[in-house]
Amino acid sequence: MNATTLSAEPGADTASDRAANLYRAVWRWHFYAGLMVLPFMALLAVTGGLYLFRDAIDRAWHADLKQVVAREATPLPASRLIDAALAARPGTALKIVVPTTPDSSAEVVVKAESGRRSVYVDPYDGRVLGELADRGTLMWLVRRLHSLAEFGPVANAIIEIVGGWAILLVGTGFYLWWPRRQTGGVISVRGTPRRRVFWRDLHAVTGAFAGLAIGFLALSGMPWSMFWGAKVNEWANSSNYGYPAGVYVDVPMSDEHLAHANGPTTWSLEQARMPESQPASAAPAPIGIDRAVAIIDGLGVSPGYTLSLPASPTGVYSATVYPADLSRQRIVHLDQYSGKPLIDMSYADYGPAAKAMEWGINVHMGQEFGLANQLFMLAICLAIILMSVSAGVMWWKRRPAGSLGVPPAPANRSVMAGLVAIMAVVGVILPLVGASLVVMVALDLAFAWRRRPVAA
């Protein structure tokens, strides 16, 4: 890594000494960034690589629940499927997920005494296939591990810190990789696995090819972060009850959020409120689930949508679907008495910023360009794992006995201060990253600067 030579004079200001000082400063903070995030990035890469193929994995893992034999027969009405689910698991039906394909089961979510349960039903004969805890599939566990939500809110907040430091890691990594008259380690790997230079080159070359995509993954994952993502979402959706301009019309709105009533929704609609049904003075009877399904189908909503049932006399039938094709995203709320669509919106109704954010999320999840998108993101996940392993091996081979092996500080401390100032800009945009940066600077000042750098 030492491609330059330091002057013995701490105050030297020749061009070569300035370059050497800057290189050491960047290398030092690249090490800190890796120390902060590489273990987490390896976890994110493994879980993210699995989640890219969530539908196929879940269908295979839960085949007895999610797959049925496709028949020529017409599927049963939704009311019959709900009745079958309630007969097997007494309680209150909250929503039904209609089959996506002819060989898919229907899922009915029931609020039972033991908690929320997902009951799977054969749509052709009403046979109950079995049940799980709501969001109890294998891929839901992987998703929670990917966001660290499985370990509580504090661990979930680490995602924002990891994302910000990953961006710093990519930026400093590109600087360290940039060719400096070396004969290898730019696009080729020198040596053998026995030598440290092999692992250094493997790490650098992999990062050079995958760095931009890793930076994109870090940025596109930020909407899910606990602090920054939530605050930006709240700011972006502070008007019109969380709906894009032009979509919300003057209908009564409740205090219930779409994300609570229908489960996971798109980032842009996490603050969206549910409208309210308005019974007439004659108190007409509700249209019923089967009529609601017919209206939703008639509006051209894509198969596989989730239909939430009204939870109160002012509740609505709410259909949501988020297929891989962004243009087919749809949210429709129906008045439970008249069947009139109170709000009907799609991806086309989003504003420019929301469209860009949703597009980035869709690519992040491997959905936008089909199998090619999945395979490309899988390759990036594998690159992250390779870089994490190679960084660990490289550090172990150069680590002095009994020491953490932090790269030497630059002789000119002003270079370090300038680099920290640049990184502080990221910390202002991402407050949790800024807080972690303050901690790292304090530790560096407390321990790393106690011993003055020696001449190389």
- 372-409 residue pLDDT tens: 999 999 999 999 999 999 999 998 888 887 777 888 87
Taking each continuous run of H as one helix and of E as one strand, the counts in the chain are 14, 10
Which candidate, 137, 140, 131, 122, places its Cα nearest to that of 68? 122
Distance CA 140, CA 366 (A): 16
Residue 370, domain member (yes or no): no
Distance CA 240, CA 253 (A): 10
Check: CB of residue 109 under 8 Å from CB of residue 82.
no
**In whole angstroms, how far apart are CA 308 and each of 20, 161, 272, 335, 401?**
62, 35, 15, 12, 61
Task: Name the one residue in this structure whose structure tokens are 């013995």.
Answer: 8
Q: 252 and 335: one domain?
A: yes
- Together in a domain, 259 and 318: yes
Helix, strand or coil, per DSSP, at residue 316? strand
Residue 263's pLDDT is 65
Domain boundary among 350, 385, 407: 350
**Looking at the domain assignment, is residue 160 inside a domain?**
yes
d(CA 29, CA 448): 12
In a domain, 277, yes or no: yes
Q: Categorize the per-residue pLDDT at 236 as very low, low, confident or very high, splitting at 50, 70 and 90.
A: low
pLDDT at 103: 96
Average pLDDT, integer, range 183-190: 85
- Same domain for 446 and 336? no
pLDDT in tens, 245-293: 545 556 777 767 777 766 677 767 777 778 888 876 666 789 999 999 9
**The total number of structural domains that make up the chain:** 3
> What is the C-alpha to C-alpha distance for residues 277 and 274, in angstroms, rounded to an integer?
10
Amino acid at 335: D
Are residues 294 and 441 located together in one domain of the fold? no
Q: How confident is the model at residue 435, as a pLDDT?
A: 86
In this structure, are 250 and 346 located in the same domain?
yes
Domain that holds residue 162: 15-51+150-225+375-450
Same domain, 383 and 293: no
Inside any domain, residue 177: yes
Q: Would residue 271 count as lying in a domain? A: yes
pLDDT computed for residue 95 by the predictor:
95
- Quote the tokens at residue 241: 């009850």
Whether 321 is in a domain gets the answer yes
Q: Supply the pTM of this predicted model.
A: 0.86
pLDDT exceeds cutoff 90 at 414: no
Q: Same domain, yes or no, for 191 and 124?
A: no
> Which residue bears the tokens 């930026």?
171
Q: C-alpha 247: how far from its chain's center?
A: 26
Q: pLDDT (tens digit, 9 = 90+) per residue, 41-70?
A: 999 999 999 999 999 999 999 999 999 999
| pLDDT exceeds 70 at position 1 | no
Quick one: 96 and 175 in the same domain? no
pLDDT(9) > 50: no
Angle among Cα 74, 76, 77 to the nearest 5 degrees reads 120
Start-to-end CA span in the chain (Å): 13
Give me the pLDDT at residue 452, please.
52
**What distances in angstroms separate CA 281 from CA 32, 90, 284, 358, one per listed residue?**
67, 33, 8, 42
Model pLDDT for residues 69-128, shown as the tens digit of each residue? 999 999 999 999 999 999 999 999 999 999 999 999 999 999 999 899 999 999 999 999
Contacts 24+ apart (CB under 8 A), 199-203: 199/390, 199/393, 199/394, 199/397, 200/1, 200/390, 200/394, 202/386, 202/390, 203/387, 203/390, 203/391, 203/394
Decide if 69 is inside a domain: yes
Confidence of residue 10 (pLDDT cuts 50, 70, 90): very low
Position 285 in a domain: yes
The letter for the amino acid at 205 is V
Q: What is the pLDDT of residue 245?
A: 56
